[in-house]
A and B are shown apart, each in its own frame.
Chain A
Amino acid sequence: MAAQGTLPPECAELIEELAGLFRDSEGIFGCDDMFDYMARRVHAVQRATNPVLRRFWDAAGGSEPGAWHEIPPVPVAAFRDVPIASGPAEVVFRTSGTTGGAARRGEHHVASVDLYRTAARPNYRRHLFGEDGAAARTPSAAASTVALVSLIPHPAAAPDSSLSAMAGFIAREPEVAHATWAFHPRRGVDAAAFERAARAASHPVLLLTTAFALVQLLDALGDAALPLPRGSRLMETGGFKGRVAAVNRAALYRRVGDVLAVPESHIINEYGMTEMLSQAYDGAAGHAGPAPSRVHRFPPWVRTRALDPLDLAPLPHGDVGLLAHFDLANAASVCHLLTEDLGAVTEDGGVRLAGRAPGSDLRGCSLTAESFLRATRGRGPG
C-alpha cells in the first residue's frame, strides 16, 4: 500500500515543474544540454531527498557527475530489495514475477500518479491515436473516436500493475467512446466479451493487450475471422516472461491480420517496465513498418545507452548491449536504470530491441539458487 505523508518540498516542486514541461514544452528535452541540465537538477534533488539512493551512489564512487550518464545506473533487481523513493508513494507498482531465483517481486514506489499519466500520455497518444504529424492526415490512422477493448486487467482489478494503470489512462482519453475490459486476473482472457465488443463496435477498435493474452485470444477465436472495423489498431506489449519460451512476432502479427483484419501497420509494440514511468513505441498506428525493421521511440525526456555486458562501458551506436535508460519522469524514485534487456541505440536515439539477455545453455552440477531455496527453506537436519 502507499505510504502516508508528503513529499519533500524540493521534490514536489520538481515533479510539478517536470509535469508542466512534459505537458507543454516536451520539445526542450530534445536539446542535449537541456536534458543534461534537468538530469543533474533531478540528481541533486534525489541526493538530498533519497538517502538510500545517495548511499548507493556514494558507494559507487560518489563524485559529482559531470554529465547525466556519469550518474551510476541502478540495476532493476535493486527494486526487489528496498523502497527507493524520495518520499511517500501514492501507489506501489509491482513487477509481474520473480526471476533469477529471487524470492521477492520488484516494487516501484511512485510518488505521483499524475506525473506517471503526464509522462505516458504524449507518447501513447502519438503512437496509438495518431495525434500529430503524418498520422493525423491519414484517415485510417487518425482516430477521432475508438472503442477500447483491453486484454490488460482493469486498474481496479490489478491495482499494483503499472500496465493496468496505463490502460486506465488510455481508457479516459476523449476519443474513447466505450471501454470493454476483457481480461480477468485469475480467469484470463474473456474471449466472449471481446467477441461481443468487436461485433458491436461502430468505431475503430483500439485493442490493448499483452502478447501472451493476444495469443490466448487468437487461440480462443480459432480460425473464424472476426474482422474489426477499418482503422482499428492494436497495442501489444511484453507479457511472455516465464510463460512462453519465445514468440515469433511476425507470425503473431500475420494471425492478427488473418483473424481480426488489423494490418501490421496498425499493430504497435509498446516497451515499458514497472520500474519506469515512460514508455517506448515502435511505430505510429497506421504507419508502422514491417516489425523486424522497427525502432522503439521514447519521449524526449528519456535517454538510452547500450552498455558492454562485461564492464558496462558505453557502446557505439548500432552495437548491441545491455540497455540503460535515464527517465526524468522517475524523478521521485530512480532515473537511471540498468535493465536486463539487450538492444542497440540508433544515431537518432531510437532503440532497436534484441530481447532479454540470454543465459547459458550449459549448467554445471553446482546447485542453482532456485533449487537451493527450494531445498533449504525452512529445513534443517531435524
Chain B
Amino acid sequence: MTEVPPATDDSSASGRPVIDGWVWPPAAPPPTSLLQIRAGGVDIRHPKPDLDLAGRLVASLRASARTLAAIPSRELIACLGQAGESFVGSIGDKGSRRIAQNAGLSRAMTAEVVNGMAATWSTEALEGLVYAEFPDPRVLDGFVPDNERLVAATAPGITLHLGAGSVPGVTVTSIIRALLVKSPVLAKPGAGDVALTVAFAQHLGRVDPLLGAAVAVQYWPGGTAPWARWEQELFAAADQVVVYGSDTTVESVRTRTPASTRLIEHGHRVGVAVVDPTGDPRAASDAARAVALFDQEGCVSTHLFLVLGDRAAAREWSGELADALSKIEFALPPGHAPAGELSAIHQMRGFLEMDAASGRDTELWYRKGLRWTVIMGSLDGFSPAGGRTAWVIPAADVAACLQALSPLSPVLQTVGIAGIGEERQALAEGLARIRATRVVPLREVPFPGAEWLHDGQRPLRELVRWTELH
C-alpha cells in the first residue's frame, strides 16, 4: 500500500487505472491524505484510517437521519427508484470499463451482471420489495393500526455495511435496503465492487442530494492495527452492522461488534440444482447460465447438479451442459484470470483424469483453452472449484437428491430446479428441511428478485425495530 496525494489523474505508476474508493457526504470533512492499493485490474485510492475523520463522518451521517426520517416512504421509493433506473445509463463507457476491471469480469459479463442487478433497483421492484415486507408501508413513517394496537417500524440509526468479494452490485443493493428503511449507511464495498458502488453513490447524490447526504462509501483493506482501530470506532458508532464474507470475516466481526448492536450476517454459500432432463429441454442452457454468471463467484452460483435418472442419462445431459457452457463462454467471456487460477484448472482436470484412469466413476468434459469443466462423479469428490466448474451426479429420485444434499445443509442457499413436475412441492419441502433458503426455477438462479429472502432473512424487516403503542 502506498501513500499518494489527493489527485485527479486516473492512472498509477503501475500502469493500472486508478479509481476513487470513497464518496463522503458533503457535510463530512474531506480526507486529507490517501492510500492506494491494488484490487483486480485497478488501483483503489482511499482515505487513511484517521479516527478523528471517522468520528466526523459518522456525525454527518447521523445528522442526515432526521431528514431521511421525514421523507414519506412512497416518496423515498420513488426517489430511490428514479436513481436506480437512471443509474445504468449514467455509467458511461469509461465507467463500465472501470467496473469490469475492478471486478475482474469481462465487459460483456459486467454488462449482464449490472443490468441484472439493476433490475431490482427500479421503482417497481422497490415498491414490490417494500410492500412484500410491509403490507402497509406507512408503518415506516409512523404508527399505523395493527389489530388492537398501533405499530411503527423504525431504522435503529446508522447501518454499517461491510462487503466482501468481487460481485458488483451487492453493496448497492445493501445501501438501497438501508435507505428504504430510512437508515443512513456507511458502506465498505468488497474489493471488486468499489467502482460500481462509488459510481452509484455519486449518482444518487446528483439525483437527490438529501439521499446522497445519508450515504458514505469507503473502501479499506483491513488486516492491520490502524484499520482494526478504525473498524472498532465504526463498530462502536454504528447501530447495526451488515457483514458479507467468509466464515473468518464473519466470525471476526461478530467478536468485535458490541452486543447491543444488531449484526446481520451473510456468509459465503453454495448453490446447487435438481434437474430432470426429460421434463425440461432448456435445462442445460439454463444450467450453463447459472454456472457462468458472475464467473461462478456469486453466492447464488450453481456448482452441483443432481440429475434424475441413471448414469447414462446424466452422461447425456453432461454433454449437453458442456456444449451450452462452450456457447456461453463466447457470449459471456470469463474475466482475466491470473496464472494461478488457470493453473488450478489444469491441476484439477489432471487430478480428475487420473481419478478416471484409476477406475473410479469419474468422467470429464472440457475444451482446451476454455475455462469451463463438467465433471460427472460421486458426491464424495465434490467441492466447489469455481472457474465455471459444474459437477453432475446422477440421482435415482427426489428422495435420493435430498439425501445427497443433506451434508451440504450448513452452506446451502439457492437450489435451482428444472423439469421437476408433480414432485416439486415435496422437493421444496425437503429442501427447506435441510435449510435451503431459495428454491427457484433454474433460469431464475442468477438474479433473485428485490424481495428475495436473502439467506433466509427478510431483507428489510431485519433492518428495523418495531415499536408498539397501546
Interface residue from B268, B342, B406 paired with A371 (Cβ < 8 Å) = B268
* B246 pairs with A364, CB closer than 8 A: no
* B340 pairs with A362, CB closer than 8 A: no
Q: Identify which of A50-58, A200-208, A228-236, A288-296 touches chain B.
A: A50-58
Q: A81-B355, A338-B350 are in contact. Are A359 and B409 (CB under 8 A)?
A: no
Return chain B residues, CB-CB under 8 Å to A373: 383
Return chain A residues, CB-CB under 8 Å to B246: 363, 368, 371
Interface residue from A75, A311, A368 paired with B384 (Cβ < 8 Å) = A368
Q: How far is the CA of A76 from the CA of B347 in the complex (A)?
A: 7
| B4 interface residue per 8 A CB criterion | no
- In B324-362, which residues have CB < 8 Å from any A CB? 337-344, 346-351, 353-358
Q: How far is the CA of A379 from the CA of B405 in the complex (A)?
A: 11
Nearest-neighbour CB distance to chain B for A51, whole angstroms, equals: 8
* B165 pairs with A310, CB closer than 8 A: no
Return chain B residues, CB-CB under 8 Å to A357: 338-340, 342-343
| A25 interface residue per 8 A CB criterion | no
Q: A52-B354, A363-B165, A369-B384 are in contact. Are A340 and B170 (CB under 8 A)?
A: no
* A366 pairs with B269, CB closer than 8 A: yes
Nearest-neighbour CB distance to chain A for B457, whole angstroms, equals: 15
| A156 interface residue per 8 A CB criterion | no
Return chain A residues, CB-CB under 8 Å to B239: none
* Interface magnitude class on chain A: 35 or more
Nearest-neighbour CB distance to chain A for B43, whole angstroms, equals: 12
Q: How far is the CA of A381 from the CA of B386 in the complex (A)?
A: 25
| B188 interface residue per 8 A CB criterion | no
| B408 interface residue per 8 A CB criterion | yes
Q: A357-B339, A371-B268, A376-B410 are in contact. Are A362 and B165 (CB under 8 A)?
A: yes
| B244 interface residue per 8 A CB criterion | yes
* A82 pairs with B303, CB closer than 8 A: no
* A311 pairs with B409, CB closer than 8 A: no
Of chain B, the residue at the smallest CB distance from A340 is: B343
Return chain A residues, CB-CB under 8 Å to B270: 366-367, 372
Return chain B residues, CB-CB under 8 Å to A375: 247, 410-411
| B192 interface residue per 8 A CB criterion | yes
- In B133-174, which residues have CB < 8 Å from any A CB? 164-167, 170
Return chain A residues, CB-CB under 8 Å to B344: 100, 340, 359
* B348 pairs with A371, CB closer than 8 A: no
* A84 pairs with B354, CB closer than 8 A: yes
* A380 pairs with B104, CB closer than 8 A: no
- Counting chain A CB atoms within 10 Å of each CB, the highest count among B349, B351, B353, B433 belongs to B351
Q: How far is the CA of A368 from the CA of B434 in the complex (A)?
A: 20
Q: How far is the CA of A363 from the CA of B383 in the complex (A)?
A: 16
Q: How far is the CA of A78 from the CA of B270 in the complex (A)?
A: 25
| A224 interface residue per 8 A CB criterion | no
Nearest-neighbour CB distance to chain B for A63, whole angstroms, equals: 15
| B68 interface residue per 8 A CB criterion | no
Interface residue from A74, A309, A361, A368 paired with B342 (Cβ < 8 Å) = A309
* B433 pairs with A80, CB closer than 8 A: no
* A366 pairs with B386, CB closer than 8 A: yes
Q: How far is the CA of A101 from the CA of B387 in the complex (A)?
A: 15
Interface residue from B298, B384, B433 paired with A381 (Cβ < 8 Å) = B433
| A4 interface residue per 8 A CB criterion | no
Return chain B residues, CB-CB under 8 Å to A60: 353
* B358 pairs with A365, CB closer than 8 A: no
* B347 pairs with A366, CB closer than 8 A: no
Return chain B residues, CB-CB under 8 Å to A53: 357
* B342 pairs with A310, CB closer than 8 A: yes
| A59 interface residue per 8 A CB criterion | yes
Q: A60-B353, A371-B247 are in contact. Are A362 and B346 (CB under 8 A)?
A: no
| A342 interface residue per 8 A CB criterion | yes
Of chain B, the residue at the smallest CB distance from A379 is: B410
Interface residue from B39, B104, B297, B406 paired with A365 (Cβ < 8 Å) = B297
Return chain B residues, CB-CB under 8 Å to A376: 407-411
* A380 pairs with B406, CB closer than 8 A: yes
Return chain B residues, CB-CB under 8 Å to A172: none
Contact code string B227-247 (vs A, CB < 8 Å = 1, else 0):
000000000000000001111
* A77 pairs with B103, CB closer than 8 A: no
| A360 interface residue per 8 A CB criterion | yes
Task: Enumerate chain B interface residues (CB-CB to A < 8 A).
Answer: 38-40, 103-104, 164-167, 170, 190-192, 244-247, 266, 268-271, 294-299, 301, 303, 337-344, 346-351, 353-358, 364, 368-369, 383-386, 406-411, 433-435
Task: Enumerate chain A interface residues (CB-CB to B < 8 A).
Answer: 52-56, 59-60, 74-78, 80-82, 84, 100-102, 309-312, 321-322, 338, 340, 342, 356-369, 371-376, 379-381
What are 9 A-B pairs with beta-carbon distances under 8 A? A59-B357, A78-B354, A356-B340, A364-B166, A364-B294, A364-B298, A365-B298, A366-B270, A368-B384
4 residue pairs, one from A and one from B, having the closest CB atoms? A364-B297, A75-B350, A311-B369, A78-B354
Give 9 A-B pairs besides A309-B346, A365-B298 with Cβ atoms closer than 8 angstroms: A55-B358, A60-B353, A75-B351, A81-B351, A100-B344, A363-B297, A366-B301, A366-B303, A376-B411
